Every structure is written in structure tokens, then in C-alpha cells.
Amino acid sequence: MKRLLLFLLLIACLSASISAAADFNKFFVCDQIQNAVEVYDATGLKRISSFKTGPKPARIVNNPHNGGYILMYRGAKNTPGGLTFLNSIYKTTGSKKLPGIVVQDFYLKDSGLWLLFTVASDKKITVSNLICYDLKNQETNTIPLNGPPAVYRFNEDRTELAVGTLGNSEKKVPAELVLIDLLQNKVRSFPVSANPGAIFNTASGKIAVACGGFRNSQRYPSKLLLETTDNAEFAKLHWIDPVTGETEVTTLGYSPLLIDQDRDDPDTFYAVCANVYGDPNEEQRGITLGSVFNPDLDRPAATFYKITSAQIEAALELQNQPGRLIQASSGTVCLQGESDLYIIDVSGLVPKLLDYKHDKSIDQFLINNDGTIGYLSNSNSNYLNIIDLKTGKEIKTLKISDSFYIGKLFLNFFGSGFPPVIQPDSVKPITTTNPSENLRMFFSQDGSVLYILAGAPEVCVVDLQTNTVKSVIKFNDTQYGIHPTPDGKRIVVAAENGWHLLDPSRTKPEFSLAFSLEETEQGPENGYYSPNGDLLVIPFKNYLYLIDPIRGVSLGKTRTKAIAPLIVWPE
């Protein structure tokens, strides 16, 4: 009898694991235009179900109650988002309307809590809400917010969520830091200045909120949720004691505000703000001072700050406005601009700008694992700059190829608009899908090799011990970019006529996936990876192309009716 029970228990465990694995073979194609969803089985290359839904279907989670699923659609203009409940064969069993358009959501799988942030679908209404939906007991709790949410930060165990909300100057509603205790459903709010964009926990127990302020003389991204003020506001840091509610404010320059927290001292921060010499209330026209190269040597475009315990310890003028702040190591901060790379030694009491000069348009900047060496690729160039970040001296300028640069333009359009606050690289965005990302270069998993696109259709393999090109992998296409497979063992090239899977040990593609193109057409730039990384789905022209990136083979293609597909897997 005991043997029989053990055998049945083993079968149950195996069945559960097989079922869990099978979920990754089933994926959902969410059409962002036709408001429809298709369900596909990758093993059989077939569509097994389809149904209509609300606008912008975006996420699927497993329903713990009936073995089915819950689909979230975000909603669109004049149509709020909602939840659609499906059984195990994808038939609708119920629905729940939400009070607005879903602008962000977090699914905390361990606790079964789904957090959905909504804003009113009618722009005349300023109401925003946080909907806390507990999947385990199927209870819903709605927390009103004074404005649209702009930035989010969980504590380490994800029991508390800090949210920065935008204010409304016309209605005299301030921006706020909202602290939400997810266990006790308790909410506390603290006023802050315009456009909060980053939240940090400090060693002293305070919460630092970085607010970018506002000025008409800056160009902001057109689709960005933004609080506008009657008069220009400086960027500010608010140091909030969550116990007493006391707040200390550090005033900086004007937006954009770049900021990061010291990795060793959580009470120390590094920040950059724009210098404005004209009227910050003037409506911007054309390209803004500080967003590109600044020819005025007498008027620096930006200022770098070192801030400790809410006090500005030191400031350093910068000739041009950077768009990215990276703490390379405990004593080095790098600032990347359109054509500049500033290397700052912050190990002493006064920050020191190292003597490194760069004057070419930058498309990507990488730093090795210990933060001592930087690798800088230039737009439309076959030269790689290798830089000692401790001294600011160039180690080598490596020519990776003799070919002309005929690939896609790798340009970072820093001048197209900055948000009020630019979050650091250390704050990773939380995404619900796994889309591929086109890069110019990336490191191998062990950090010993750099893979970089050259001008001709080829990927160069750079040995980082010798700083030499040890091999070249050629392919026949015009590339968008490269990225590693999730297991890190292969290189994927997204290109105009097809996608190519490269084995770093070979000189030719392992296989190439060609698309049927009209004369003026170009192939897709992005695909989607399954959560376990063993399936890559590339949607293009009413077809889904499937690749097994682990084995390095094509699984074929299947038709889809989706016009604007978003590929998601159930969570």
C-alpha cells in the first residue's frame, strides 16, 4: 500500500511538472488593434483558441481557483481596462471592469496579489486608483491616488510599495509620495515637488524622492505623463522620514535630473542637472541648450553634484549635457552624452574630472564586471575605444573590421527629449513580456569576450584578455542589431531579410530564417522569448515564426490574424 501511495505521489508530481512545462509551449497573441486574443500551441504549430477582448490585451496570469486564466486588458480612450476570466479551455466565464486605463501593473506571484494602477479614460477627470486584487481569496481593494502614478519602488520583501504621483497645478493638487503597506492595507502620503521620477531607501531610514521639476525651455518626450507648472521649478530631492513625516529638501538645477545612489554608501548620491542661462519659463523652440553639443565654452551646460545626507558636498561643471549616469565602481562615475564620455573620480572629498576626451557620436558604452574598463562603440564606425576608467586613459583603439559601415545607423537621439528624471541603470524596469533587444555589442556570460557588430554583415569576437579580434562570424544581410540567447550560448542577429542564429565557435550562421518580403519591405526588428528561454516567437505579416534557441533550430511558422501582435505567456 505504501509503495502504491508513493507511486501515485510520484506520478502526481511528474504530471504537475509536465503541466507547468507545457504552459511555456502555449502562448497568447494579443492583438493591440483588433482587441482579440489567439492561443497557440508551439508543439503542434497550431492555433487552439481565439476570442474577443477589451482594448489593449496585455497580460495573462494563471487562476488558482479553476485551473484557468485571468486576462488583463489595459483599455483605451474612453474605454476603461478590465479583467476577463477564462476556464482551462479558454472560454470566458466572467469579467471585471476597472475604473480606468491600466498604466502599470505588478503581479506578486508568491502572495497572489495583483496590483493594477489606473488613470481615468476621460482626460478631463484626474482620478487615479490602485486596485489590489487578491487572487487567492478573490477580494478587491481600491486605493484612490491624488494623481497619475509616475514612479514605483518596492522594499526588499515586497511588502511595501512606494509610489510617486504627479500633481495638478491647475487644481492645486500636489505631487505625492504614497507609501502602501500591502499586508495591512495602510496608506500614508507625503507632498513632494513636481514630477517625481526616482525613489530610494537610505541608510538613515529616510526615503529619498528625486523630482525633476519643470521648465518650458526643456523638450520633453511627447507621450510622457507630465506635470506642468505655471512657473519653472528646480529639480529637488526630498528626504522623507516615514515615521515622523519630517521632510528635508535639497534644491539642485533644472531638469533633466540624472541621479544614482552610491553602491557602498546609501546616504550618498550622484546627480546631474542642466544649467539654464536664459528664461526657463520661455517655451522651447528647436533643440534645447544642454540636449546636444554645447559650443559655448564659457557657459557649461550641466552641473554634477555629490550629495551626502541631504547636503551638497561638491559640484563640478560639465561642458555638455549627459543623458546617462553609471557608477562604474565604488570610486568612479561615468556620464555618457551624445558625443561625450565624462569619467569622474569620486573617491576623494572633491570629485575630479579625469582627462578623457571623446568627440565621436556614441552608440553604446559597456563596462566590465569589476568596473575598471569601459568599451565604447561609435556610430557608423568600425573602431572600438577601450578605456581605463581608473585613470581616464585610453588603453587601445581597436579596429574591428576593414569593411565600410553599411549596417543600420546606431544613433542615440539624446536631443529628441529627456524626461524630468532619468533613472539610473541600477533601477531595472519591471516588464511583463520578454521582447528581444537590438544591441551593437554585448559581453559573453563569463565576461571574457565581447561580441560586436562591424560595418559589414559580420560579428567580431573580441578577446578581452588581449584586446584583439580573435574571430569573425559573417552573414549575408543588413543588420538591425544583435543580442544573446537567454542561455547565453548563441548570438541572434535581427536583420532586414531574416534572422540569423550564430554559434561563437563557427564562422558562418548556424541557421538563417528568411522572410518573404516585397521589394520595399523590411523584416521585423523584435521577437519574444518564453519565460524559460527555450522558444523565440517572431511575428511578421500574419505569420508567427518559431525558433528553438537552445537547440539552434527553426520550428517552422504558423498563421495569425493579429495585425499588431503582443506575445505573452501565462504567469
The model's pLDDT over 323-333, given as tens digits with 9 standing for 90+, comes to: 999 999 999 99
* Least confident residue range of 113-127, 284-298, 433-447: 284-298
Average pLDDT over residues 165-172: 87
Cβ proximity of 305 and 270 under 8 Å: yes
Check residue 556 and give left, alpha or beta (phi > 0: left; psi -120 to 50: alpha): left
Least confident of 163-172, 174-183, 408-417, 557-566: 408-417
Average pLDDT over residues 379-389: 94
Average pLDDT over residues 534-554: 94
Element (H, E) at 193: none
Give 69-76's long-range contacts (Cβ < 8 A, gap of 24+): 69/570, 70/114, 70/135, 71/28, 71/37, 72/102, 72/105, 72/114, 72/116, 73/35, 73/102, 74/101, 74/102, 74/103, 75/100, 75/101, 75/102, 75/118, 75/121, 76/101, 76/121
CA atoms within 13 A on the CB side of 563: 6
Query: What confidence score (pLDDT) does residue 429 get?
Result: 55
Q: What is the mean pLDDT of residues 60-73?
A: 94
134-143 pLDDT tens trace: 999 999 999 9
Given this model, what pLDDT does residue 434 score? 77
CA dihedral 330, 331, 337, 340 (to 10 degrees): -140
**More confident call, 379 vs 482:** 482
Give me the amino acid identity at 403.
S
pLDDT class for 286, splitting at 50, 70, 90? very low
**Cell digits for 316?**
563640478
| pLDDT band of 410, cuts 50, 70, 90 | very low
pLDDT for 571 equals 93
CA dist 556 and 34 (Å) reads 25
Q: For the residues 98-104, what does the mean pLDDT come to?
A: 96
**pLDDT tens track for 7-28:** 444 444 433 333 334 457 899 9
Which has the higher per-residue pLDDT, 1 or 42? 42
Which residue has better confidence, 289 or 311? 311
pLDDT tens, 345-383? 999 989 999 999 998 899 999 999 999 999 999 988 999
Report the share of the chain in percent with pLDDT over 70: 89
CA–CA dist 427, 308 (Å, integer):
20
- pLDDT at residue 518 in the model: 84
Q: Which range has the worst mean pLDDT, 172-176, 385-389, 514-518?
A: 514-518
| For residue 222, pLDDT beyond 90 | no
Structure confidence at residue 29 as a pLDDT band (50, 70, 90): very high
Q: What percent of the chain has pLDDT over 90?
A: 75
- The closest of 156, 152, 272 to 212, measured between CA atoms, is 272
Q: Quickly state the pLDDT bin for 65 (edges 50, 70, 90).
A: confident
Instruction: Provide mean pLDDT across the span 29-41.
Output: 97
What cell was used for 504?
561563437
Q: Which residue has the cell 509503495?
A: 3
Pick the range with the lowest mean pLDDT from 149-158, 287-296, 391-400: 287-296
Q: How confident is the model at residue 280, as a pLDDT? A: 87
pLDDT of residue 411: 43
Bigger pLDDT: 169 or 275?
A: 275
Q: How many CA atoms lie within 13 A of 122 on its CB side?
A: 4
Contacts of 486 (CB under 8 A, 6+ apart): 434, 529, 532, 533, 549
Angle (CA) 275-280-286 rounded to 5° is: 90
Amino acid sitting at position 262: D
| Mean confidence (pLDDT) of the chain | 89
